Structure 1
Amino acid sequence: MSYKKRLSDKELMRKLDASGAVLVRGPKACGKTESAKQIAKSILSVDRDEQVPLLMSTAPRRLLLGDTPRLIDEWQVQPKLWDYIRHEIDDRKKTAQFILTGSANPEESVKMHSGAGRFTIVDMRTMSWQELGFSSGKVSLEKLFEGQKIDIYDEPTDLEFIIEKIIIGGFPAHLGKKINQATDVNRAYMELLAEVDMSRISGVKRDPAKVRSLLCSLARNTGTLVEISTLEKDIRQKENNDISRPTIYDYLDALNRLMIVEDQPAWNTHIRSSASLRKSPKRHFTDVSLAVSALGLDKKTLLNDLNFAGILFESLVTHELRVYGQVNDAKVYHYRDSSGLEVDSIVQKHNGDWCAFEIKLGILQIEAAAATLQKFVSVLDYKKMNPPKSLNIITGTGISYTRNDGINVISLASLGA
């Protein structure tokens, strides 16, 4: 299969030209190595080359010899490579020397120099709808930051299509796969995560049954401000399993290092009301299909439970906004205050510009979403912050247009970078 271009490719090239090495981070099978191979001139597979352990103890710098940029794949298996690469960059005094790819972050106990000034970072996720060809990309996040109004017609997306794509997910290996094939692969991904990866990540044996119970609880609570105590209670009641809070913290740390779960931080802003801002993050799986797989759900089940399907859709859209936001030098947050006012996603650039998004699977929720956005902007303190560049409602099944009140309604099948 020929390489399918990724939105992160340009960022990888740009950062490689600016630094001695680029660290490409992302979950297993999201396409890191394949993207890096498109520009690498030589490759070292740290987890597969049998000579690596021997050379690490005798002549580690020999592992860095080769045409540049040299890809060091799964570098975290030998975390000491980081410092050897750092010193090599200092000695060579050139850019575009190394690309490091890995599907796990090293333990904090591993002492490494930060690499500041030598390394840049590219975060990769599974494929977005624009990359997969499910979205036309006619409504770009870039233009939403410019306040551009929408007058675009794409064919409305069928609900069954959306559910199918939630189940299949965005892993590159699923391109062209049918729903039952992708389901089998996703289930195997989660089984290997529980039985192998969670113990291999730090050489600490973790109980696969307890890992599965935690994954199921995280899936039931995906995209929510769930507390550790809630997870503990949910696992006891729904999974008939007892996991202590310290164990939950440990397992969550491992899942974060494996980049299986990704937090959506709370937005830190200024409000005029007496309400206080909530600081807890929302938790999402790196790909919404993993939440589906953890719970063993299928298409029929989700079509019969549109409330939960809507929660999964919100998680999918959060993923999309992260991919498109990264292209636009922006990150994704959420807003919630003590009065209960909540906005699903805030996308903010490093320069402070921001857009707000409500996410609704069906068009019947558009009016309520618009009312939420209007109330939200009314409580902000514009003496201390800039107003939004745009207010938006992302839907699953409708068309894209700008309402009379200036709020954009955007089909996910039209949204792009």
Structure 2
Amino acid sequence: MATYLPRIADQELEARLSVMGAVLIEGPKACGKTATASQVANTIIRLDEDAAARAQLDLDPQALFAGEPPILFDEWQVAPDIWNRVRRQVDDRAEKGHFILTGSARPRDDANRHSGAGRFSVMQMRPMSLFESGHSTGEMSLASLLDGERQTGLGTHLSFDDLLRRIITGGWPELLDADEDFARDWLADYLRQVVEVDVPEMGHRRNPGNLRRLLEALGRGVGQPVKLSDLAKDVGGDGGPIAYETLTGYLDALARLWLTDDSAAWRPHMRSRARLRTAPVRYFVDPSIGPAALNIGSAELKADPLALGFHFEALVIRDLRIYAQLHRGRVDSWRDENGNEVDAVLTARDNKWAAFEVKLNPRDVDAGAASLLKFARNVDTDRHKEPACLGVITSTGAGGRRPDGVHVIPIGCLGP
């Protein structure tokens, strides 16, 4: 049996089980939901594999709840009737932490499925961060940065080639020790399953070539606010833009499979009169998906520094989201009509917020710091608190707080 590497989600799951009767863990296939839930579950029912268990939902549903809690119902969306059964059990037992559900696809809203409010706590899992996989020391803590503390670290242990491999292989638990060729084959099969099986099962039985081209277009547009009209043109190609309804249906399916993870626009009160842009910035849930959709590896990324910068940004945004989740935080982007932008604005509990620029090349740190300071000066701090942290996240080198107050954060030092 493979050794379980602790996940940041372990802490969140424990906390949620202590206050709610059931916890729903959602995230893409193969990100580690089942392994994490299995660390605390005493009874495991794999609904996607166990036909007898699915049959019991109709014949003897009470038997599914006879095991010792916490009871894990893995891939619950395969047998969606289990939702209402668990909800009723939570009401009847009036106990905390009795059930865990995992799901790699979010079902459409169903009038027959009752609200889980007050019974279910919902948490999201993503593939592993660099800290979880052992590639970041974590000595520059996001929690401490949000507390306004000075942080230092040295990120030179993560070489340029190591960083490329982490982008190409991603944070999938099955690929942590894989070489690049195996990882690329695994990811190609993963996306083939998405195109040929997962999305059609969600009711989208149209041209699979369109969906492949959409994944490629999203791969080219990683880290950019690509408009729907531009995506429609890219997907349609010589045949002209695909229909808006088709495009939004595909995007909805990818979101329900937890494969996309776009950054919404942060809309603070600003002193500047410049109009804020509201288009989301496009990301996948893991940086490996973009290169896999484009069928490129580390050699191609190395030959295209501009594209590499965007895919590095995708890795950083993934890690920020994972670390922010411990603080009930979210990561957005900010752009105005004059071309000013900030890659990540992290908003946490108690209205704490921080802003980060992502620069692959450490020589670009000065430009990133200048951009952050200009942005912070224009935020209306009469309506928002002062930022807890301004930081430039880069690929390597020494980390610390500069005289201007901006932290330099090598990605191999960042942790929760």
Query: What stretches of structure 2 of length at least 5 have no aligned partner?
Result: none
**Counterpart amino acid of residue 278 in structure 2:** K
* Length-normalised TM-score, structure 1: 0.96
Aligned to 1:220: 220
Aligned to 1:344: 343
Aligned to 2:44: 43
Aligned to 2:266: 267
Aligned: 1:146 with 2:147: yes
Aligned to 1:134: 135
**Counterpart amino acid of residue 294 in structure 1:** A
> Following the alignment from structure 1 to structure 2, what is the Cα–Cα distance between the partners of residues 76 and 62?
19
> Following the alignment from structure 1 to structure 2, what is the Cα–Cα distance between the partners of residues 50 and 329?
37
Aligned to 1:16: 17
1:352-367 map, 5 Å: 352-367=351-366
* Maintained 8 Å contact 2:233/2:240: no
**Secondary structure at the counterpart of residue 15 of structure 1:** helix
How far 1:243 moved relative to its partner? 2.5
1:146-295 map, 5 Å: 146-155=147-156, 157-200=158-201, 202-237=202-237, 243-295=242-294
> Following the alignment from structure 1 to structure 2, what is the Cα–Cα distance between the partners of residues 74 and 261?
19
> Following the alignment from structure 1 to structure 2, what is the Cα–Cα distance between the partners of residues 216 and 116?
38
**Secondary structure at the counterpart of residue 350 of structure 2:** coil
* Maintained 8 Å contact 2:390/2:406: yes
**Secondary structure at the counterpart of residue 261 of structure 1:** coil
**Secondary structure at the counterpart of residue 116 of structure 1:** coil
> Following the alignment from structure 1 to structure 2, what is the Cα–Cα distance between the partners of residues 132 and 138?
15
When residues 302 and 401 of structure 1 are mapped into structure 2, their CA distance, relative to the original with a 3 A threshold, is same
Percent identical? 39
* Maintained 8 Å contact 2:144/2:151: no
Flag as ranges the 4+ runs of structure 1 deviating above 6 A. Answer: none
> Following the alignment from structure 1 to structure 2, what is the Cα–Cα distance between the partners of residues 111 and 206?
28
> Following the alignment from structure 2 to structure 1, what is the Cα–Cα distance between the partners of residues 154 and 391?
16
* Maintained 8 Å contact 1:138/1:415: yes
**Counterpart amino acid of residue 96 in structure 1:** G
Aligned: 1:57 with 2:42: no
**Secondary structure at the counterpart of residue 260 of structure 1:** coil
* Maintained 8 Å contact 2:126/2:322: yes
How far 1:240 moved relative to its partner? 6.6
Aligned: 1:76 with 2:62: no
> Following the alignment from structure 1 to structure 2, what is the Cα–Cα distance between the partners of residues 304 and 334?
27
* Length-normalised TM-score, structure 2: 0.97
**Secondary structure at the counterpart of residue 342 of structure 2:** strand
Aligned to 2:31: 30
Aligned to 1:89: 90
How far 1:215 moved relative to its partner? 0.5
**Secondary structure at the counterpart of residue 112 of structure 1:** coil
**Counterpart amino acid of residue 181 in structure 1:** F
How far 1:150 moved relative to its partner? 2.9
Aligned to 2:380: 381
Deviation string 1:205-234 (CA, Å, 9 cap, x unpaired) is: 243211101100111111211111010112
**More off after superposition, 66-75 vs 333-342:** 333-342
> Following the alignment from structure 2 to structure 1, what is the Cα–Cα distance between the partners of residues 389 and 265?
19
> Following the alignment from structure 1 to structure 2, what is the Cα–Cα distance between the partners of residues 382 and 401?
25
**Secondary structure at the counterpart of residue 23 of structure 1:** strand
Aligned to 2:107: 106
**More off after superposition, 152-161 vs 391-400:** 152-161
How far 1:12 moved relative to its partner? 0.3
How far 1:351 moved relative to its partner? 1.4
* Maintained 8 Å contact 1:267/1:335: yes
* Maintained 8 Å contact 2:37/2:72: yes
How far 1:66 moved relative to its partner? 1.1
> Following the alignment from structure 2 to structure 1, what is the Cα–Cα distance between the partners of residues 412 and 152?
14
> Following the alignment from structure 1 to structure 2, what is the Cα–Cα distance between the partners of residues 326 and 404?
30
* Maintained 8 Å contact 1:160/1:303: no
> Following the alignment from structure 1 to structure 2, what is the Cα–Cα distance between the partners of residues 274 and 399?
37
* Maintained 8 Å contact 2:131/2:414: yes
**Secondary structure at the counterpart of residue 18 of structure 2:** helix
* CA-atom RMSD in angstroms: 1.5
Aligned: 1:318 with 2:311: no
Query: What stretches of structure 1 of length at least 5 have no aligned partner?
Result: none
Deviation string 1:24-44 (CA, Å, 9 cap, x unpaired) is: 011000000011111101111
